[in-house]
Amino acid sequence: MSLHVVIGFGPAGAATARLLAEKGQLVRVITRSGRSPEPGIEHVALDATDSERLTDAVRGAAAIHNCAAPPYHRWTSEWPPLASSVCAAAEASGAVLVVLGNLYGYGPVEGPLTEKLPLAATGPKGRVRAAVWEQARELHEQGRIKAVEVRASDFFGPGVTDGGHLAARVVPRVLRGKPVATLGDPDTPHSWTYVPDVATAMAEVAGEERAWGRAWHVPTRPPLSTREMTDRLAAEAGTGPVVVRRLPPAVLGVASVFSPLIRELKEVRYQFDRPFVVDSSAYEAEFTAEATPVDEQVRATVDWWRSRPATAR
């Protein structure tokens, strides 16, 4: 039994913390606001950018899982101090640093995304996400910390209510049988990463020394378009067929005036306007975790949403 510290308790952080607790590990979750204790998990209220206090909180930990997610429109200002603080805590404690990353750092590319691609993003959010990993990787290569990054595509699944394209724009409307408006081409192939699979990968690489020092893509099933995913969700929910149409650019332009999230999405619109395909074969060839079958993903997602009060959907 080892202590694992999870920073952040969004969908991925919560799934990771609960999975580790189920495996019998001691789990300490760090968030700014804290939460009531739950079985196997200690919640601590702490600003993770406070390096001194964070270092105290992770003392004795075997691993630090950084699942924090600053507000989308404040990434460029809040990620650098957070990443530096977490790296300092990892160095002081000797804990393995497991970074939850995404695919923004690659920028637009042709063909499937693999871990061998350079981090060549030119937009501010892509650059800051790349810098978070580069900082940890350089410290790892210097022998100062032990670090690994796990990269995921758009999240969906139980617990995901915002941020992810499927969660925020598709599932709630599908459950009501309402039309779905997509950010880009609804028929272009897109990779979707199931949140429980993120948690499995985060937990697995923490204990695998051969995983450290590089980035890995979370096991992810072959791509499906937004229309195909919507059809599957609607079939499971019994509300289909659901109309799927592209949100007109003019509407997006107006919405971006009032919504910081929509405005910030302009940088990564390419992910929905062209095929966005994740290749996770490197992970799958090396480790035991596999992506959950799509039918199981869809069933669990619909069941979770239906378990929520109607006012929260």
pLDDT digits 0-9 by tens, 253-292: 656 656 666 666 778 888 989 999 999 999 999 999 999 9
CA dihedral sign of residues 113, 124, 156, 158: positive
- Binned at pLDDT 50, 70 and 90, residue 181 comes out as confident
Chain segment 125-143, per-residue pLDDT in tens: 999 999 999 999 999 999 9
Q: What are the distances in angstroms from CA 165 to CA 95, 154, 265?
A: 33, 7, 11
Strand ranges (E), the chain: 3-7, 26-31, 41-45, 63-66, 96-101, 146-151, 154-156, 180-182, 192-194, 215-217, 244-246
Q: Which is more confidently placed, 184 or 64?
A: 64
Mean residue pLDDT across the chain: 92
Residues 136-168: pLDDT tens digits? 999 999 999 999 999 999 989 999 987 667 776
State the CATH architecture for 160-191+222-277+293-312.
Alpha-Beta Complex (3.90)
pLDDT at 64 over 60: yes
CA dist 91 and 139 (Å) reads: 9
For domain 3-154+192-217, the CATH superfamily is NAD(P)-binding Rossmann-like Domain (3.40.50.720)
Secondary structure class of 243 (helix, strand, coil): coil
CA 37 to chain centre: 24
**Residue 65: half-sphere exposure toward Cβ, Cα within 13 Å:** 32
Domains of the chain: which residue ranges? 3-154+192-217, 160-191+222-277+293-312
Residue for token digits 């969908």? 11
Q: Model pTM greater than 0.75?
A: yes
Tell me: the pLDDT tens digits for 186-215?
999 999 999 999 999 999 999 999 999 999
